[in-house]
Chains A and B, each alone.
Chain A
Amino acid sequence: MSANSLQTPRLVEVRKNVLKQNDVVARALRERFRKAGVLAVSLVSSPGSGKTAFLEKTLTLLYPRYRVAALVGDLATENDAARLARSRAPVKQIITGTVCHLEAAMVQNALEGWGLNNLDLLFIENVGNLVCPSSYDLGEDLRFVLLSVTEGEDKPLKYPTIFNSADVAIITKSDLAAAVEFDETAAKRNIQAVRPGMQVFKLSAKTGEGMTEFLDFLESRRARLRAAGA
C-alpha cells in the first residue's frame, strides 16, 4: 500500500457546472441572434415524428417572404438537408457522427460564414432523440418539442425532462389523428402535467391544417424580438 492511500483526503471546493463550456457558447450565440434580430428556434422529438416534413413545410411557406435558414442535425447522411433545400431556403447539415444530440459549438461552427444580419428566422433541427438533447442549450430563443399523433398520448409522461425543457409543443401529423384514434385531450393533459402553461399547436405538414396559426405565432415572436432589440 502506498503512502498516498493512507493519507486522509483533503476536500477542495470546486463548484463548476459540468456543461459550462456549452453554456458559454450558447449564451454567446443567443446574444448574436438577439443583436442580429434573428428568431432562433430549435426542434426536438423522437425519430420519425415528422420534424423534417414539418420544417420543410414551414420553410416553404415562409420563404421568400421571410429570410429563413435551417441547420439540421443527424448522426449520418445529408438526406434531410437535401429534402429541406427543396424549400430554396439556405440549409446546412450538421453530421454529428456518433453524438446523439447537438451541442452549442456545433451550431456555432455550422454558422461560420453565414451573415446572421441577413436572416429573420433560423431553425435548428436537433437529432431525433427525446433524451440527450434536453441537457444542451443551443442558444435558441424557443425550443419546440414535436409529438406525432401516431406516437401515443403518454409520450410527455415517458420523457418529462425534454418536454419540461421545451417552450412550445407541436402535435404533428394531425391528418392521421382519426385513423390512430388519437386522444387529443389526454395528450394535452399530459403535456400540461410536465410543463404547466406550455403553448400547444396541432397541425399537419401534409394537409396544411393548423399551419396558419403556427406561422402567426412565429411572426408574433419575431416581431417581439425585433421590438425588444430596437
Chain B
Amino acid sequence: MHELSIAMSIVEMAQEEAERQGSARVQAVHLRLGLLSGVVKQALLSSYEIACEGTPLAGSQLLIEEIPIEVFCPRCEAPRPVSSIRWFCCPECGTPTPTVLHGKELEVVALEITE
C-alpha cells in the first residue's frame, strides 16, 4: 500500500504548481496512470482524499486517465497493445514482446485551477 505516499506527492506537486500560479485554487488534478505503474487506481483515489485533508486541495478531484500497456513487436516492427498484463505478446502475430513503450506512466499532466 504505497498509494498514500504517492497521493501525498501528487498533492505536494499540485500545491507547488498552484503557488507558482499565484496561489490559485486547485479544483482538479489530471493524472496519467499506466497499467504497469504498480499503482492501483481505486487505492490511489481514496488515498488522494486522505492526502488532501487539511490542505488547500481539500475537496479537489483527482481525474485519472488510465494508460494501457503498449509494447513494440519486433516482428511486425510496430507498437502494439498487449491483450493482457499476464501475456506480453503481439496480438497480431503472437511474438513475445519484452519492450514496453507505454504503461509505466505516473504523471501529473495538468491542473484545473480557479484564481
Q: Which residue numbers of A lie inside 8 Å of B, CB to CB?
A: 4-5, 7-19, 21, 99-101, 131-132, 134-135, 157, 160-162, 164-165, 192-198
The listed residue (B1, B28, B97) touching A196 by CB distance below 8 A is B97
**B75 contacts the other chain (CB 8 A):** no
With a cutoff of 8 Å between Cβ atoms, the chain A residues found around residue B47 in the complex are none
- A135, B98: Cβ atoms under 8 Å? no
- B98, A10: Cβ atoms under 8 Å? no
CB distance from A126 to the nearest CB of B (A): 12
Q: A7-B115, A9-B114, A18-B6 are in contact. Are A197 and B108 (CB under 8 A)?
A: no
Q: How far is the CA of A117 from the CA of B18 in the complex (A)?
A: 44
Chain B, interface residues (CB within 8 Å), range: 35 or more
Q: What 10 new A-B contacts, CB under 8 Å, besides A11-B111, A134-B38, A165-B38? A: A10-B114, A14-B111, A16-B13, A17-B106, A18-B107, A21-B9, A135-B106, A193-B89, A196-B96, A198-B98
The listed residue (A100, A160, A198) touching B1 by CB distance below 8 A is A100
Q: How far is the CA of A101 from the CA of B38 in the complex (A)?
A: 12
- B85, A19: Cβ atoms under 8 Å? no
Which chain B residue shows the least CB distance to A198?
A: B98
Give the number of A-B contacts (CB < 8 Å). 105
The listed residue (A4, A21, A131) touching B38 by CB distance below 8 A is A131
Q: A12-B111, A13-B109, A193-B88 are in contact. Are A161 and B36 (CB under 8 A)?
A: yes
Q: How far is the CA of A197 from the CA of B100 in the complex (A)?
A: 13
For B15-27 the 0/1 string (1 means CB < 8 A from A) is: 0010001001101
Q: How far is the CA of A19 from the CA of B39 in the complex (A)?
A: 12
Q: How far is the CA of A10 from the CA of B28 in the complex (A)?
A: 10
- B88, A4: Cβ atoms under 8 Å? no
- B25, A135: Cβ atoms under 8 Å? no
Q: How far is the CA of A161 from the CA of B24 in the complex (A)?
A: 37
CB-defined A-B contacts under 8 Å, sample of 17: A5-B114, A9-B27, A12-B111, A12-B112, A13-B109, A14-B17, A14-B111, A15-B107, A16-B107, A17-B107, A18-B9, A18-B31, A19-B106, A132-B2, A160-B85, A193-B87, A197-B98
**B101 contacts the other chain (CB 8 A):** no
With a cutoff of 8 Å between Cβ atoms, the chain A residues found around residue B110 in the complex are 11-15
- B96, A9: Cβ atoms under 8 Å? no
- B39, A135: Cβ atoms under 8 Å? yes
**B5 contacts the other chain (CB 8 A):** yes
Which chain B residue shows the least CB distance to A16?
A: B108
- A18, B108: Cβ atoms under 8 Å? yes
With a cutoff of 8 Å between Cβ atoms, the chain A residues found around residue B13 in the complex are 14, 16, 18
